[in-house]
Amino acid sequence: MGPGSANVILVGFMGAGKSAVGRLLARRLDLCFVETDDMIVAREGKPIPEIFAERGETYFRALEAEVLDLLAEKRGHVIATGGGFPCRDGVMERLKRLGTVVWLDGDFDRLYARAQRSGDRPMLAGRSREDLLALYRQREAYYARADARVDTSHLGVDAVVGQILRLLGERQRSAGAERMRARPPDSRA
């Protein structure tokens, strides 16, 4: 896969490892890496917790919608999205037009523990485990529309990247076979 080809888009709940996996995956595929959260931070000139504190979640979601428009120009990128990014009607369909969408999932309690350990996440503030579980359940229906799902529960970053590389390879092979089948017999080499 080269820089001229389609994108790989990572979606999933907080703590799924989208950033770490995305960075390594981009290196392995020789693609650029971008995070929707970083695009928002660059646009606003302030960190995510400050955006939430000063303008609230609704404003942040509007910024995500603007970033979605900007993603249409990306080719040959690995794109890591924020946990809530694909969880509105129509977003997943648009992401799937930009490339292969991979859902990094896992056992909820592992995701929750990881999310609490790293980063300053405003969606965790003032919410109990039960609140977050309810949010995860709500979001699952959106994530499930991804092209593929990888269960990260028992895998390190390297192994998750290995699985994604394998499934991208399989998708490329089956798309190639599909193209061969679609060609008229006399045009086959």
Residues at the contact surface with ligand S3P, assessed by CB under 6 A: 14, 18, 37, 48, 82-84, 121-123
Q: What is the smallest separation between the CB atom of 55 and ligand S3P, expressed in angstroms?
A: 13
Q: Residue 131 in contact with residue 1, Cβ under 8 Å?
A: no
Structure tokens given for 60: 């942040």
Q: What is the smallest separation between the CB atom of 17 and ligand S3P, expressed in angstroms?
A: 9
Burial of 174: CB neighbours in 10 Å, binned 0-12, 13-18, 19+: exposed
- Select 5 or 108, whichever has its Cβ closest to ligand S3P: 108
- Select 76 or 136, whichever has its Cβ closest to ligand S3P: 136
How far apart CA 149 and CA 21 sit, in angstroms, is: 14
Residue showing tokens 């993603």: 71
Q: What is the smallest separation between the CB atom of 66 and ligand S3P, expressed in angstroms?
A: 14
CA angle 39, 28, 117 (to 5 degrees): 55
- Select 11 or 98, whichever has its Cβ closest to ligand S3P: 11
- Select 5 or 52, whichever has its Cβ closest to ligand S3P: 52
How far apart CA 124 and CA 88 sit, in angstroms, is: 19
Q: What is the smallest separation between the CB atom of 64 and ligand S3P, expressed in angstroms?
A: 7
